[in-house]
Structure 1
Amino acid sequence: MPPSIALVTSSYKGDWERCRLLCDSVDRFVTGHAVHYLLVEAADLPLFKSFEGPRRRVVSERDLLPFWLRPINDPIAAGRRLWLSPFGPPLRGWHVQQLRRIAMGAAMDEGVLVSLDSDVVFVKPFDVSHFRAGEAVRFYRRAGGMAEVEPERRPEHERWSRRAAALLGLPPEPIPAPTYITTLIAWRRDTVRALLERIGASTHRPPMMALAGSRALSECTIYGRFADEVEGRPERHLPTDERLCAVYWDGPPLDAAGLRGFLEELAPEQVALGLQSFTGTDPATIRRVVGLGD
């Protein structure tokens, strides 16, 4: 019997309205999953509990992350949070969201994790069993993708790749040509568990302690390099460069006309939009344009 699939979203109170839009779009368009997990800071738990239902659960990060990783208010940036640890530098929310996903991928009962950011919205019907290919699970791998990264962003991607190598006990050079980062991806639970075991063996530290030791962190790169270079088992992993979610990464806020134009340009296989929250695009406008009501 093929493994069951869980949708996993790591979010926070600043993205509550966008997360509500994601949940509504999942309920409208997405099938084939057993449950949708929302992973949040403990302080945000009451706010997100309203999203729970027969196939959606809200999970506190305190049930996933080590006790020594604790959030505080950022003393410099009002309204922002930092996570302090005795084993590395203060982490931002986007670092900790990655740690939550990795922890959930190892802890959950379901066999496959499909990762969704909280600023994703589905716009077409989509059965997540698409990620299964017989006994294998599709994972995102873009051959030659490193050369396609914008020059100003490439140093950061290279740091992520070197950090993945250090965690996994791989040579730091050469940096592989493929990239593994996109929105709407699938991981195997057993691979996440094996990945954490590898990190522990390679670093001689508890895996979460090693992961929290630096801000150079890309969970997609770590998973991709592990699947490619450590497991290397095509019967378990089917590489694909299919981008199922069209992403609006930066630029001015999109109005209704801009959103309609973006929708019209979707490739046939694209079933979702990733409208980065820092572009300031209004969730209410998105909701109207994609037909999810008020």
Structure 2
Amino acid sequence: MSGTISLITPSYRGDLARSALLFESVDRHARAFEKHYVIVHDEDLGLFAPFNRGRRQVMPVSRFLPGWLHAMPSFIRPRGRLYWWSLKAWPIRGWHTQQIVKIQAVATLPEERYCLIDSDNCFFRPFDVAALASPNPVPLYGDPGAVQADRPLHAPWLKAAHRLLGLPEPRFPADDHIGQIIVWDQATIRAMTARIEAVTGRGWVEALCREYEFSEYLIYGAFVTNDARRLAATAPTSRSLCRAYWDGETLDEAGLLALLRGSAPDQVAVCVQSFGATPLAAIRASIRAFEAEAEAAAPAPPQRNAAR
């Protein structure tokens, strides 16, 4: 019997259109999961309310953040960015709270495992989420040796993960556990946060806020890979379920369709980074074209013999 698994997507008003595209694709392609939890800023609940139906549940970030962490009012937002302040650490950005929310959501929502999908992803092939649930081992994504000591972001994030977990300094090059579709196990997340609290002597949210520069995926990866028992219960993989386009020129519909055609057979989603200029209309059109090609190439179902 398969265990329970759900999807989690943190988002905000700036990604509303991209989220809508993701939701469309989840409804068309994803199956065999409990819920799709969409967690947004409290002030954005009204914007996302039309999507709060069926298995999709829109929830406020305040449900997953401690009461001592406060959103700054709209007139105190440097460069229009939303910050949270407290008396326990320096102010943190929305990028930080999204990471905290992912951890707390996995630790407290009712399912056993969670598939974390950011709002700039979109599915273009059938996605059987149950294949990632127990009794199958937990997938652990890692890009072998991708974190070099001179990487300006990933190397400090990995060092922070080791400090938070009380581990020795990491050796470089190290595996990178940051990806587009990541599966987390609830029991592992709870053990991870307990370890952070035991090491730092603080609540895990406060510990992360004080660290400031951190990556939730690198913390999880460092915790699992440095625990032999937990590592033995995972299925390490360097293959991503998502075809990502991070760099290069803006793609048009033809370029996006070529990207999808060049995806590996087990890749079910595409991520075209939101900071690029590729229009959403082109992404939607290319996916529809790819789906039409796949449908046309599928073998016809066997016909029943006509009744005599």
Query: How far did 1:165 drift?
Result: 0.6
Match of 1:261 among 258, 263, 273: 258
TM-score by length of 2: 0.88
Which string of whole-angstrom CA distances, capped at 9 and with x for unpartnered residues, describes residues 54-82 of structure 1?
201011111110112222245431x3212
In the other structure, the counterpart of 1:233 is 230
Matched, 1:162 2:134: no
SS of the residue corresponding to residue 139 of structure 1 reads: strand
Kept after mapping to 2: 8 A contact 1:71/1:81: yes
In the other structure, the counterpart of 1:212 is 209
Query: How far did 1:146 drift?
Result: 2.2
Q: Following the alignment from structure 1 to structure 2, what is the Cα–Cα distance between the partners of residues 51 and 268?
A: 30
Kept after mapping to 2: 8 A contact 1:162/1:175: no
In the other structure, the counterpart of 1:193 is 190
Q: Following the alignment from structure 1 to structure 2, what is the Cα–Cα distance between the partners of residues 175 and 160?
A: 13
TM-score by length of 1: 0.92
Q: Following the alignment from structure 2 to structure 1, what is the Cα–Cα distance between the partners of residues 138 and 52?
A: 28
Which string of whole-angstrom CA distances, capped at 9 and with x for unpartnered residues, describes residues 185-242 of structure 1?
1000111111111111010001111111133111110001111103543442121111
SS of the residue corresponding to residue 143 of structure 2 reads: coil
Query: How far did 1:169 drift?
Result: 0.8
SS of the residue corresponding to residue 238 of structure 1 reads: strand
- CA, structure 1 residues 166+110, in 2 after alignment: closer, same or farther (shift >3 Å)? same
Which string of whole-angstrom CA distances, capped at 9 and with x for unpartnered residues, describes residues 92-145 of structure 1?
222211111011010110000100000100000110123246342111123323
In the other structure, the counterpart of 1:276 is 273
Matches within 5 A, 1:15-164: 15-72=15-72, 73=74, 75-77=77-79, 79-132=80-133, 134-147=135-148, 154-164=151-161
SS of the residue corresponding to residue 277 of structure 1 reads: coil
Query: How far did 1:87 drift?
Result: 2.5
Q: Following the alignment from structure 2 to structure 1, what is the Cα–Cα distance between the partners of residues 266 and 251?
A: 22
Q: Which amino acid aligns with 1:37?
A: Y
Q: Please, which runs of 5 or more residues in structure 2 have no aligned partner? A: 292-308
Q: Following the alignment from structure 1 to structure 2, what is the Cα–Cα distance between the partners of residues 66 and 251?
A: 40
Query: How far did 1:284 drift?
Result: 2.1
Q: Which amino acid aligns with 1:242?
A: R
Q: Decide which structure has the larger Cα Rg and report it.
A: 2
Q: Which amino acid aligns with 2:202?
A: R
Q: Following the alignment from structure 1 to structure 2, what is the Cα–Cα distance between the partners of residues 241 and 5?
A: 22
Q: Following the alignment from structure 1 to structure 2, what is the Cα–Cα distance between the partners of residues 155 and 18?
A: 28
Kept after mapping to 2: 8 A contact 1:135/1:235: no
Kept after mapping to 2: 8 A contact 1:244/1:270: yes
SS of the residue corresponding to residue 147 of structure 2 reads: helix
- CA, structure 1 residues 44+75, in 2 after alignment: closer, same or farther (shift >3 Å)? closer
**Once structures 1 and 2 are overlaid, which stretch shifts more, 54-63 or 207-216?**
207-216
Q: Which amino acid aligns with 2:10?
A: S
Kept after mapping to 1: 8 A contact 2:138/2:235: yes
SS of the residue corresponding to residue 83 of structure 1 reads: strand
SS of the residue corresponding to residue 53 of structure 1 reads: coil
The list of structure 1 runs, each at least 4 consecutive aligned residues, that deviate by more than 6 angstroms after superposition, is none
Q: Following the alignment from structure 1 to structure 2, what is the Cα–Cα distance between the partners of residues 231 and 272?
A: 31
Q: Kindly, what percent of the aligned residue pairs are identical?
A: 39
